[in-house]
Chain A
Amino acid sequence: MAKMNMLHAINSALEITMNEHPQACIFGEDVGYFGGVFRATSGLQEKYGKHRVFNTPLTEQGILGFANGLAAFGAPALAEIQFADYIFPAFDQIVNESAKFRYRSGNEFNVGNLTIRTPYGGGIAGGLYHSQSPEAYFAHTPGLKIVVPRNPYQAKGLLRACIKDDNPVLFFEPKRLYRASTGEVPEEDYSIELGKAEVVQEGTDVTLLAWGAQMEIVEAAAKQASEQGISCEVIDLRSILPWDVETIAKSVTKTGRLIVSHEAPITNGFGAEIAATIAQECFLHLESPILRVCGLDTPYPLALEKEYVPDALKVMAAIKQSVNF
């Protein structure tokens, strides 16, 4: 074990992959000598050479087009999109090519070797083009998997699982936690199974569900709630697609209450899918309406970020609303 921040943990997962598979390549804007704008790929070009770790031109569509080709030929393609906000020029490649490669070729070809890493989310005063959480757009695309880690340990284990998974996976990294979140991480290889949520705190009164950086917020709210005698069960969804209906349904069956929180705008955010499914699965066990504590339906604001974000106070208000229903 070693103390790592999330960037170290991601770097370690990438390094293991580069050692494991001589054809694995890391590419994206500024990921080469510079090591990426957040330094997630620091030192890897020196170690593995320019032919395996390289800068790409400023073309996200090109990065994913290249990645699809590389992955189709069997090499682990580790593509970085510098900010999740920049992923939209690659939307066509991801949605129409990566996600459908296997389906349209009757599994003659697939891009299961593709992993797309990209930093998402706010909290860094990044304004409207450096703060977005676009996971829900991709969750509407069959053929993709989507994973979001909450801390360094999760980041390394989940990223390794994404790389080894035989489907194209989007790995959204909570940039606010890159350096802020530290913890003990094994130096050796390990994986965390995809599609499994984790109950990080057991409780009896209300289930709080989130993923990525939002976990910190709901955990803070759970702590406030416990001081007022409310017992929260806190769950990290970890995988958005596929998502662990069973674990959530089991928890809500026990608590009778569910609050889902994400930073992305509320309308059609992934919380909507969870609310619909859990309403169906747990209808007779629900003691109050499922609540969502999310961003507003606006672009991510710069000056009023504090008011916009689903902070612990808003989660706490929802907890009270839920238990007092």
Chain B
Amino acid sequence: MAAVHKAPVIFFARNNGYAISTPADEQFKGDGIASRGVGYGIKTIRVDGSDALAVYAATKKAREIAATQGEPVLIESIAYRLGAHSTSDDPSGYRSKDEEANYKACPIERFRKWLVKQNWLDDAEDIKAKETIRDDILAALKRAEVIDKPALEELISDVYDTPIPSLQRQYDELKTHIKAHPDAYPTTAGRIK
């Protein structure tokens, strides 16, 4: 669609080598995502996804092509999924520590080293920044933890622009039910309007 109709859009495909447990070679045949772009007639850039500066340069170029030539661009950013797929995933069930050790190219660490080399960052500053950021995040988490869960009316908001009559009726029934059994729904019962 984008290629045929010359949509100025950037498709950024992060190829991190895994879909949960499934490695890329069981995911697609051939050489990564980039060749798909070529097949669709889309200008394609492949970039080292663990190199922040390279990704920036590729994206800048892609934007220039999309904006000035009015056509889509595909970027395939080759990386490695350093962590687990999610908090409920444990990669030790399907890949080895050796394999993980082969990919130490953490993009953040790499960029940090570059900043240090430019003399734009020293270790003391870096450590201080990390501490400050960690403190900020922990403070934000603490603040968030004591905020009430959404009020009951938010259960039906944003399904439509305004709740349709049947949903409003269901909500009214639920409200009556919760008011009759406030102890069973402690997070919302006390705040029902």
Report whether A314 and B22 are in contact in the complex, using a CB–CB cutoff of 8 Å.
Answer: no
Chain A residues lying within 8 Å of B184, measured Cβ to Cβ, are 311, 313
B94 to chain A, nearest CB (A): 5
In the bound complex, CA of A267 to CA of B93 (Å)? 42
Chain A residues lying within 8 Å of B19, measured Cβ to Cβ, are 29-30, 57-58
B107 to chain A, nearest CB (A): 24
Chain B residues lying within 8 Å of A33, measured Cβ to Cβ, are 21, 94
* Chain A residues touching B, range: 20 to 34
Residue of A nearest to B94 (CB): A34
Residue of A nearest to B167 (CB): A297
B110 to chain A, nearest CB (A): 28
Interface size of B by CB at 8 A reads: 32
B23 to chain A, nearest CB (A): 9
Tell which of B94, B155, B164 touches A307, judged by Cβ atoms closer than 8 Å: B155
Interface string of A250-267 (1 = CB under 8 A from B): 000000000000000011
A55 within 8 A of B: yes
Interface of A is mostly: loop
Interface pick from A13-21, A107-115, A298-306? A298-306
Residue numbers of B with Cβ under 8 A of A are 19-22, 26-28, 88-89, 93-94, 149-150, 152, 154-156, 159, 164, 166-167, 170-171, 174, 177-178, 180-181, 184-185, 187-188
28 A/B residue pairs, CB under 8 Å, sorted by A: A29-B19, A29-B22, A30-B19, A30-B22, A34-B20, A34-B93, A37-B88, A37-B89, A55-B26, A57-B19, A57-B22, A57-B26, A58-B19, A267-B166, A296-B167, A296-B170, A296-B174, A298-B155, A298-B156, A299-B159, A301-B155, A303-B150, A304-B188, A307-B155, A307-B187, A308-B155, A313-B177, A314-B177
